[in-house]
Structure formats: C-alpha cells, structure tokens
Amino acid sequence: MKRHLCLLLILLLCCGCSTAVEAPSAAAAAEPPPAPCFASERLSSFTTVGFDKDGPGDFGLKAQLSDDELIDFADMMQIHEWNILENPPEHGTAVALQIADSDLNNIMHIMDGGELGTIIKVASQFDGKFELFTAPADVAKSAKEFYEQIKYTYIKVKADESWNVNEIIDAYFDAHYRSYLSMQDIDITELLDMEVDTNHKLITWLSMLNQRRRLIYENDLCYVETEAFPYQIVYDDEAEDDRIQFWKRRMDDDFDAVYHFRILGEEGKAYPPTFALNSQHSIFLKQTDSGWKIVRHYYPGAVRNFYLNEGLAVLDDDTALKLLEKEFAFAEQPEADEIPEKALVYDPEKSVQYAMTYAEQPNPIYYNVGDWDGNCQNFVSQSVSSGFGYDGNPDPMTRRWFAGSGGGTVQWENCDYFWDFAVTNKGIGGQQLESVTQLIPGDVLQLRSLGRNDPDDFSHVIFTVDDEKLMFAQNSPPNFVYYSDLVNIEARFFRPQYLENYIRP
C-alpha cells in the first residue's frame, strides 16, 4: 500500500514539473508593439496647414483639412517610425510642411533633415517649448507633395493651358466661393490677364472682402455667412443691353472673346457679391500662349466696387478692426415721431414681404429700369410704397414721388433725388439713423463707394429684410446681400414712418 502511495506521489510531482516548464502558447508569447513616441491622438489635433509665412510669428494663409485629407496626412506621417531627437541639427533644414491645431496653439514643422531623414519639430506658441523627432526620409518628401496638393486646392488656382473658356470661368467662380467661405485669399492670378490694371483692383477688392468678413466673424460684430449653397452658370447668346458698345469705347485692353451668362442659385439666399445672382455677367477673355485669360469681368456692381474705385488697399488688421468697431458702434433706438392726423402709417412688415417677393423677380406692374441703368432705387421705392399700402390704395405715392408701368419720377428712381425728397425735404416722414446697429426690417440704406471722387455720390440703395443677419434685398443685381459683404463703402440710413400729401385713389 505504501509502495503504491509513493508511486502516485512521484507521478503527481512529475506532472507538476511538466506543467511548470511547458512552453508558452504562441498567443501568450506575442508582445504588443512599442507605443509610438508621439500619440496618434495628438497627431489628429493638427488640422490646419499654413502657407506663405511672412516671419517667425506668422502662420500665413490657412487651409482647414477635410476628413479625407486628415486621414491621408496621418498615414503619411508614419508615427510608429518616429524617434525622439535629443539635440537640434547644427545646420539649417528646409521646411516641407507646417501644420497647426485649430487654435494655432501648437505648430508642427516637417523638415528635410538630410542624413538624419525627416526632422519634425512640434512647438508651443504659449511658452516657446518644443519637441524634436526624426522620421523616415520619405515623410518629408511626401509632406512636400502634400503641401503642393493642398496649396492648389485651397490657396492657388493652377490653370491648365488646355482648359477651354467654360473651364476657366468655372474655376474662377469656384475659387471665389471657396475664398469667400474660408475668408482667406486664393490666388487666381493664373486665370487673369495681370497686365490689366482693373484685375489688380479686383484682387485687392477681394482681399478687402475677405479681411472684412474674417474680422467681423472673429469679433462677432454681425452675421457672416459660412454655408455654401448650390449654384449654376447658364450661358446667354448675347448681351441684353448696350454694354458691349460701352466697353468697346471705354476699354483699352484687347480681348478675343466675350461670354455672357447668369448665375442662378437658391431663392432667398445671399451669395458672394461677385456672383451678382440673377443678373447677366459678361467676361472678356484673351487667348495667350499659356491659355485663356480673363481680361475683364463685368456684372452689376463691378464698376462701383472696383473698376472706377481709386485708392483700394488692404489695411493691417489692427487698423481695419478699429474702423470696424467704429462702424458697428452701438446706438440707442430713437423714439418714434408723432404721426400727423390722416397720415398713412408705415408698415415695415408689408414692405419686407414685398421686398422678399420681388427682389429676385420684378413686379410686372412697374417699369423695370434694368441692371445696366440701375434699378436699385426703383425697387426700394416700390418696397417703401408698399409699406404705406391699404386695400383702397395699395401703392400710395405723392405728386413728386410716383411710378407705374411707364416709368417714374427722378425722386422715385434716383438715389440722391430720393434722399433729397424723402429725408432732406421730409417728403416721407421718418428718421435718419446714426448706426447700422439701429437697423430694423423695413429701413433703407444708401451706399457710396469710398474711392469715388464725389463725396455726395450715393449710387446704390438696399432694403433691410433681416436685422439678425443684417441681410438686405436689392436690385441691380436682383438678389440679397449681407452687410458683412459691403466693402469700402460709406452708408446712410433712413427709417420711413408716415406719408402725407399722398395721391388718393
């Protein structure tokens, strides 16, 4: 019995030893790969590529990467191959790409480090501290290619000499819209004949528009549109007026072709000013050794915006912001005037309803002056008149301020004459306002381009339809425009309240 117990004990001990020294399974032997020295979560926070730096403290123009571009960037960086670099290289390195987080608090510089491969510097803008890493040499090469790809997507239009005219025009407006939404400049000079002075004015004016929108947006001064809406370009066979004869007399620049078209979009939406929705555009082009180039882009508003506008210049941000803060200085609402007995009381809700209905399509009961001669004051007079309407007399007028299917008086159709009649001579009871911050739906806003020589030449008028977004209805062009998009202008404001001495039915 004891002998059996001893044998059993020996067997158990042997089994235990065997279990203790048994080789581990393949799954148990596998070890996780070493963690990268730069976490992927940190890498994903770098979303903004910088271009054209002016100096160490400047990030330059910015492009926010799309989701697909962020995936491409992460794959390109090969973070599992990074190693910490203790000491900076002794010689200068060429930067292939700079990219930052959305707030520009941390900036990553990806550099060609020669024999060291790729050098990556991650610097904090708060305390100046930085980290250094090395990566495979092909990372810097890929980063340079990535930079060029992003540049020609967001910052510069690279024209192909094989493009036909329609492709040039498509690229031109696509760049305008992307620049408008991003509030930063996109270089379109490869699409333009830059020997033409007016194209330099166009470039400057677009930069001023971007700066204005960006500073208003960053400082929350008023609404700035950031949403894109669909649009289409519809070509016309010929000009609808005598613009060709006019420009042939005025233009010193040669051109080989002219294309006429309209840009159509969503009803009730505001688009970039250069889109001049619903109006006829004309683009004059020249064929060069490097392809078609735009000589001149005419649309209603182009002349007052920049063609005849001297002294256009982009100010530094600090100066521009001070001017904007003055422009948006708060003013209290004035007390309403006492309404005379038997006077018609202005109903801004009716006037806004009229403006929203007929801004993009003219009311057929009125004569339409047309975009070439300017229908802006005619349209605003109609909108104001409708605010005084009632069932027996839907469009009250006076003996000096009236219109119909055959046309209207100068007080009805001309900006300066309307102001003299309505405001200076009190032909329409109301109040001249001090500030854009006082505007409410139904108010009138007249505009003067600052570069024009005549300080009294208010040549355009728009009508307030939305005081939260500061959106206005207008004609010439017949569409809607935001106050944030009004560049290099002086404005004066009028609030109609009542109408006396009107023509009874």
CB contact at 8 A, 428 and 422? yes
Residue 31 is predicted with a pLDDT of 58
- pLDDT tens for the chain, 505 residues long, are 444 444 434 333 344 444 344 444 544 445 555 667 788 889 999 999 988 665 555 677 788 898 999 999 999 999 999 999 988 887 768 899 999 998 899 999 999 999 899 999 999 988 889 999 999 999 999 999 999 888 877 788 988 889 999 999 999 999 999 999 999 899 999 999 999 999 999 999 999 999 999 999 999 999 999 999 999 999 999 999 888 887 777 777 789 999 999 999 999 999 999 999 999 999 999 999 999 999 999 999 888 887 777 779 999 999 999 999 999 999 999 998 899 998 999 999 999 999 999 999 999 999 998 888 899 999 999 999 999 986 455 667 888 999 888 889 999 999 999 999 999 999 999 999 999 999 999 999 999 998 776 767 899 999 999 999 999 999 999 999 999 999 999 999 999 999 998 876 5
- The pTM of this model reads 0.79
Domain termination residue (choose one: 155, 186, 209): 155
In three-state secondary structure terms, 27 is: helix
Q: How many domains does the chain have?
A: 3
Residue type at 135 in one-letter notation:
A
Alpha-carbon separation of residue 356 from 269, 443, 469, 474, 478 (angstroms): 11, 14, 15, 10, 11
- Specify whether 320 is located in the same domain as 213: yes
- Specify whether 234 is located in the same domain as 312: yes
- Specify whether 133 is located in the same domain as 248: no
By C-alpha distance, which of 419, 439, 441, 280 is closest to 356? 441
Distance CA 498, CA 340 (A): 8
CA trace torsion 258, 251, 371, 278 (10° rounding): 30
In three-state secondary structure terms, 261 is: strand
Residue 505 is predicted with a pLDDT of 52
Burial of 74 (0-12, 13-18, 19+ CB in 10 A): middle
- Specify whether 210 is located in the same domain as 307: yes
Residue 134 belongs to some domain of the structure: yes
Residue 179 belongs to some domain of the structure: yes
Residue 22 belongs to some domain of the structure: no
Distance CA 461, CA 447 (A): 6
- Could you tell me the residue range of the domain that residue 128 belongs to? 40-155
By C-alpha distance, which of 500, 501, 461 is closest to 481? 461
In three-state secondary structure terms, 196 is: coil
- Specify whether 66 is located in the same domain as 205: no
The domain that holds 57 is classified in CATH as 2.60.40
- Specify whether 183 is located in the same domain as 313: yes
CB contact at 8 A, 299 and 274? yes
